[in-house]
Structure 1
Amino acid sequence: MSLALGLVIIPLLAALLMLLWPRLARGLQLAAALLCTILATMLLQLVQQEGSQQLFIGGWNPLLAIRWQADSVTALLLLLSAVLHLLVSGYALAVQQRDKLAAAFWPLSSLLLASLQALWLSRDLFNLYVCLELLGMVAVALVTLSGDKAMRPALHYLLFSLFASLCYLLGVALLYGAYGALDLPLLQGQLQANSLTAAALVLITLGLMLKAAWWPLHLWLPAAHAAAPAPVSALLSALVVKGPLFILVLVWTTLAPAAFLNVAAYAFLVCALGALLLAGVAALRTPYSKTLVAYSTVAQLGYAMLALALMLSFNLPVFTAALWLFVMAHALAKAACFLSIGEMQQTLGVKKVAQLKGASQTMPLAMFAFAVAGGSLIGLPPSGGFLAKWVMLLGLWQAQQYFLLLVLLVATLVSAAYIFRVVVLAFDRAEPTAPDFSPQLLPQWLALLPALAVWAMAFFSMPLLAILQQELS
C-alpha cells in the first residue's frame, strides 16, 4: 500500500511546497498530478493481480487504526481523479495569462486532489468525515477565486456544507455511542434495525445528500458551479460531488440493516426521478450557459441515485456496475463541458446561451468538445454514457421494471433537449468576426480530450466490466 500512501502524500507535499515557492507552483502541480496518474495505474494493476489491498495507518489494531482499502472501484476512482487533475491543470496553465487565474488555484487544487485520494481510500466513518470536510473547505475556497461575483454563491455553499457536516457528524456520533466502532468492516452486520440506528442513518444520509447536491437539496450547486472559474467548475462537477456519493454507497451497502433498505430505496428513487426530470427542465429553461451545465450536473446525478435505489431493492450486480460506469462517464463528460463552455465564454466574452449563436464557426473545436461530451450525457452510442445506460437498461429489463425503462427514455429526451439547445444554436449563422480574431487552440484541445476519453470508454467496455466484476465477485 505504499502506492496508496504516495497518492495522498505527493499532492499534499506539492501543495505545501507551492506555498513556500509560488513560482514553482504550476510545475509542481503538473508533476504531482502526473506522478499520481502513474501510481494510480500501478495500483490498479496490483489490485487486479492480487485483489483488494489494505493498510492500517500507524500500525494500530483495526479498532483504533484508520483503515485504508484499495479495491477495484477505489483504484478506478483514484486513477480518474489523477487524470482529470492533470488535464484540468494543463488547461489552467494554458489560459493562465489570459484569464488571470489566482495563484491560490495551484496549492488549493493540489490539496483538493490529496483530500479526494484520501477519501477514496478511507474505510473509517470519522476519517471519511475529515476528508469530506477538507474537500468541502477547499472547494469553497476555489469558488471564491472568481472574485466578488462568487462570494455570495461561495457563502451559500459554505453554509450548506457546514450544516451537512454537522448532520453527518451527529449521525456518526450516534453510531459510535451505540456500537463503539467507526471502522466500516468492523461495523458491517452489527447495526440493528432500531430507532437510534434509523436516526443516525437519516442524519448521515441528509448530510451526504447536501454535500453531493442531490435533488431536492441541490440549491447551492448551480450558482456555485456557474460562478467558479472554468477549471474549478470542471473539478467540482466531475469529482467533488462524487465524494459524498461514494460514502453514501459505502454506508447503505455495507452498514444499513436489511429492514431499512426498501424505505431508503424508495426515497432515493423519488429523488432520482425529481433530478432526472425537474433538474433537466431547469437546465433547459435557464438563459445562462454555465448554469445550464451546472443544472445538468444535478440532473445527471439522478442516474447515480436511481442505480443506488435499484442496488438496494434488487441486489443485482448489474446495477452496481451501472452506478460506477455512470460516475466515470459523467466525470469525463462534465469536465469537457465546463472547460469548453468556459473557453467560449472567455474568448467570446458571452455568458448567455443565446450569445453562442454561430459558435461552431467562430470556435469549432470548443463547440465540438461540448457536443461530443453532451452526446455522452444524452447516452448516444458508443459513448461511456451509453454504456452505463445500456447496463442499467439490461438490469431494469431483468428486474421487470418497465415503468423505469420509460422514465429513462423521457430523461434521455430531456437531456437531449438541453444539449441540442446549445448545439443547434451554435450551428446557426455566425456574426462576422474581427480580422484579428484568433482563439487559443491548446485550451480547446485540452477540453476535447476528456470528451474523446468518455467515448473511448465503450471500446474498453469489456476490461472495465471485468474490473468491476472482480469487485462484485
Structure 2
Amino acid sequence: MTAALLSLALPLVAGLLLVVLQPRRPGLWVIAVSLGSLLAAAGALHQAMALGPQMLQIGGWTPPLAIRFQLTPLTALLLLFTAGLHLLVALFAARSPHATGSGDYWPLSSLLHAALAALWLSADLFNLYVTLELLSLTAVALVALAGRKSHRPAFNYLMLSLAGSLAYLFGVALLYGRYGVLDVPLLAGLAEADASTRLALLLMSLGLMLKAALWPLHLWLPPAHSGAPTAVSALLSGLVVKGPIYILWLIWSEIAPPELGRPAGMLFAIAGIVALLSGGWSALRAPRLKMLVAYSTVAQLGYALLALGLLLRLEEPRLEAALWLFILAHGLAKVSMFLAAGELQRVLGTRRVRALKGASQNMPVAMATFAVAGGSLIGLPPSGGFLAKWLLLEPLFVQPQHWPWALGILLGTLMSAAYVFRVVALGFDRARPNPPSVAPDRLAQWLAMLPALLVLSLALISEPLLLWLGGVAR
C-alpha cells in the first residue's frame, strides 16, 4: 500500500509546491513527478498481484467510521494508467507550450493527477464524492485556461457538474439514512432491493452519468473538450471522464442487489447503443477537427456503457474484462487524437476539417497518428480497441437471442469508421496542401504518436493481458 500512497502523494505535493514556489521551468517538475508516480504505481501493481487486495484505514479508525483506501489489481492498474498518460501529456506540453494555454496548467494538472489517484483508491462513497468534486473543479479550471472563448463552456461544465454532484450526494445521503454506513465493502453485504435503495442508486447514477457525459447527459462535453487547450483536451477525454464511470461500475457491480442490477443493465445497454449512433453521427457532421474528436468521445463511451449494461444482465466475466480494456484503449487513443489534432490546427492555422486536405504532405506523422489512434476506435486489429470489441462480442455470439446488441455494435463500428476515414481521406489526399502558418514540429508529432503506438502494442501482450483482465476487477 505504501507504493500506492506514494503514487498519490507525489503529484499532490508537487501541485501545491508549484503554486507556492512558481519555479521557472514547472514542466520539468511535473515530468519528474509523473515519472516517479509511474514507478510507484508499477510497484503498487506488483504488490497487488503478489499479495492480493490491501486495505488502509486512515486515522486508525475501524469500519464503519474509517475512511478506507483499497488497493486491488484494478486500482493499481488505473494508477499506472493515470500516471503514464500524465507523463506522456506532460512531455508533449513541455515541448509545445502553446498546448497548455497558461503556466497555471502545470500545478492544475498535478492536482488533477492526485484527485484521480485518490478516486481510484477510495472505498467510501463520501470520500469518492470528495475526490470527484476535486477532479471536476480542477478540470473546469483547466478548461478555462484557453481564454475568454472557453469561459462559457467552462461555466456550463461547472454548473452541470455541480448538478451531478448534488444528485450523487442525495443518493449517498439516502443510502446512509437506510443503512448507516458508506463503506463500499460493508454496503455490499447490506444493500437490499427496496424503494429507498432503488431511488438512491438512480440519483447516484444520473449524477455520475452527467459528470461522465454519458448519453443522454452529454451536451456539455463537446464544447468543453474542443474549446480547451490541446493538452487539457487530452487529459479530459483520456482520463477525467473515466473517474465517474469507475464509480458507476463500483456501485452497480459491488453494492446494487442483482434484482436491481438486471433491469438497470438493460437501460445502460440501450443508452450505450444510442450513444454509439448519435455520437458517431454528430462526429461525422462536425465542421471542426477537435469538435469531431470530442463527439467521438461521446460515441466511444457508449461501448463502456454497453459493456457495463451487458455485464449486469449476463454476469459474464469476459464483459468485465471488455469494459476495462475499452477504458484503457480509449484513453490511449484519445490522448493521441487530441494531441495530433492540436498540432494540425496549430500548423495549418485553422480548426476546420476541410482544411486538412493534403495535410499529410506537410505533417505525415500527425496524420499517421490520427489514423493509428482512429483504427483502435474503429476496432481494427491488432489494436486494443479490437481486443475489447472482440471480448464484448464473444458472449453475444454464443446465444443467438442477443443478436440486437451485436447489430448495434456493428452499426457503431461503421459510424466510427465513417468519421475517422473522413479525416484520414482528406489528410492523405494528393491535392496541394495549404501552406503551413508555422513550421511543423516533428518531435511534438512523434510525442503525440506514442500513445497510439502503445494502444497498438496491446495486441503483443494480448494473451496474458486478457487472462489477467478477466479477474482484475475482483
Q: TM-score range by the shorter chain?
A: over 0.9
Does structure 1 residue 291 correspond to structure 2 residue 316? no
Q: Which residue of 2 aligns with 1:61?
A: 62
Task: Mark the CA change 1:21 to 1:466 in structure 2 (over 3 Å): closer, same or farther.
Answer: same
Task: For 2:74 and 2:399, locate their aligned partners in 1 and report how far apart those are by CA, in whole Å.
Answer: 24
Task: For 1:202 and 1:144, locate their aligned partners in 2 and report how far apart those are by CA, in whole Å.
Answer: 31
Task: For 1:72 and 1:2, locate their aligned partners in 2 and report how far apart those are by CA, in whole Å.
Answer: 15
Q: Which residue of 2 aligns with 1:26?
A: 27
Task: For 1:181 and 1:436, locate their aligned partners in 2 and report how far apart those are by CA, in whole Å.
Answer: 59
- Deviation, structure 1 residue 56: 1.1
Task: For 1:463 and 1:53, locate their aligned partners in 2 and report how far apart those are by CA, in whole Å.
Answer: 23
- Deviation, structure 1 residue 7: 1.3
Superimposed CA distance per residue, residues 372-407 of structure 1 (whole angstroms, 9 cap, x where no aligned partner):
000000000000000000111112123431221121
- Deviation, structure 1 residue 222: 0.3
SS at match of 1:67: strand
Give structure 2 stretches of 5+ with no counterpart: none
Task: For 2:465 and 2:120, locate their aligned partners in 1 and report how far apart those are by CA, in whole Å.
Answer: 18
Superposition TM-score, scaled by structure 1 size: 0.97
Q: Which residue of 2 aligns with 1:459?
A: 460
- Deviation, structure 1 residue 115: 0.2
Larger mean CA deviation between 453-462 and 393-402 belongs to: 393-402
Superimposed CA distance per residue, residues 281-321 of structure 1 (whole angstroms, 9 cap, x where no aligned partner):
01001111100000000000000011001110010101000
Superimposed CA distance per residue, residues 249-268 of structure 1 (whole angstroms, 9 cap, x where no aligned partner):
00000111222112201210
Runs of 4+ in 1 over 6 A off after TM superposition: none
Do the aligned partners of 1:337 and 1:374 also contact (CA within 8 Å) in 2?
yes
Superimposed CA distance per residue, residues 65-98 of structure 1 (whole angstroms, 9 cap, x where no aligned partner):
11111111111111110000000001111011x5
- Deviation, structure 1 residue 466: 2.9
Task: Mark the CA change 1:432 to 1:379 in structure 2 (over 3 Å): closer, same or farther.
Answer: closer
Task: For 2:137 and 2:302, locate their aligned partners in 1 and report how far apart those are by CA, in whole Å.
Answer: 25
Task: For 2:108 and 2:473, locate their aligned partners in 1 and report how far apart those are by CA, in whole Å.
Answer: 35
Task: For 2:199 and 2:246, locate their aligned partners in 1 and report how far apart those are by CA, in whole Å.
Answer: 20
Task: For 1:357 and 1:436, locate their aligned partners in 2 and report how far apart those are by CA, in whole Å.
Answer: 15
Q: Which residue of 2 aligns with 1:383?
A: 383
Do the aligned partners of 1:168 and 1:207 also contact (CA within 8 Å) in 2?
yes
Structure 1 residue identity aligned to 2:424: V
Superimposed CA distance per residue, residues 11-43 of structure 1 (whole angstroms, 9 cap, x where no aligned partner):
010011111222242121111100011011111
Superposition pairs for residues 127-206 of structure 1, below 5 Å?
127-206=127-206
Superposition pairs for residues 329-348 of structure 1, below 5 Å?
329-348=329-348
Task: For 2:86 and 2:403, locate their aligned partners in 1 and report how far apart those are by CA, in whole Å.
Answer: 39
- Deviation, structure 1 residue 470: 3.8
Do the aligned partners of 1:314 and 1:399 also contact (CA within 8 Å) in 2?
no
Do the aligned partners of 2:355 and 2:434 also contact (CA within 8 Å) in 1?
no
Does structure 1 residue 84 correspond to structure 2 residue 85? yes
Structure 2 residue identity aligned to 1:95: S
Task: For 1:47 and 1:341, locate their aligned partners in 2 and report how far apart those are by CA, in whole Å.
Answer: 37
Do the aligned partners of 2:318 and 2:470 also contact (CA within 8 Å) in 1?
no
Do the aligned partners of 1:15 and 1:108 also contact (CA within 8 Å) in 2?
yes
Superposition pairs for residues 11-410 of structure 1, below 5 Å?
11-22=11-22, 23-96=24-97, 98=98, 101-400=101-400, 401-410=402-411
Task: For 2:101 and 2:310, locate their aligned partners in 1 and report how far apart those are by CA, in whole Å.
Answer: 42
Structure 2 residue identity aligned to 1:457: L
- Deviation, structure 1 residue 189: 2.7
Superposition TM-score, scaled by structure 2 size: 0.97
Do the aligned partners of 2:371 and 2:420 also contact (CA within 8 Å) in 1?
yes
Superimposed CA distance per residue, residues 160-214 of structure 1 (whole angstroms, 9 cap, x where no aligned partner):
0000000000100010011000000011131121111111111000000000000
Do the aligned partners of 2:357 and 2:433 also contact (CA within 8 Å) in 1?
no
Does structure 1 residue 9 correspond to structure 2 residue 12? no
Task: For 1:262 and 1:434, locate their aligned partners in 2 and report how far apart those are by CA, in whole Å.
Answer: 56
Q: Tell me how many residue pairs correspond in the alignment.
A: 472
Task: For 1:435 and 1:7, locate their aligned partners in 2 and report how far apart those are by CA, in whole Å.
Answer: 41
Task: For 1:48 and 1:268, locate their aligned partners in 2 and report how far apart those are by CA, in whole Å.
Answer: 31
Structure 2 residue identity aligned to 1:426: G
Larger mean CA deviation between 176-185 and 54-63 belongs to: 54-63
Give the CA RMSD over aligned residues: 1.4
- Deviation, structure 1 residue 346: 1.0
Task: For 1:434 and 1:254, locate their aligned partners in 2 and report how far apart those are by CA, in whole Å.
Answer: 56
SS at match of 1:54: strand
SS at match of 2:381: coil
Larger mean CA deviation between 59-68 and 79-88 belongs to: 59-68
Larger mean CA deviation between 67-76 and 33-42 belongs to: 67-76
Give structure 1 stretches of 5+ with no counterpart: none
Superimposed CA distance per residue, residues 107-127 of structure 1 (whole angstroms, 9 cap, x where no aligned partner):
000000000000001110000
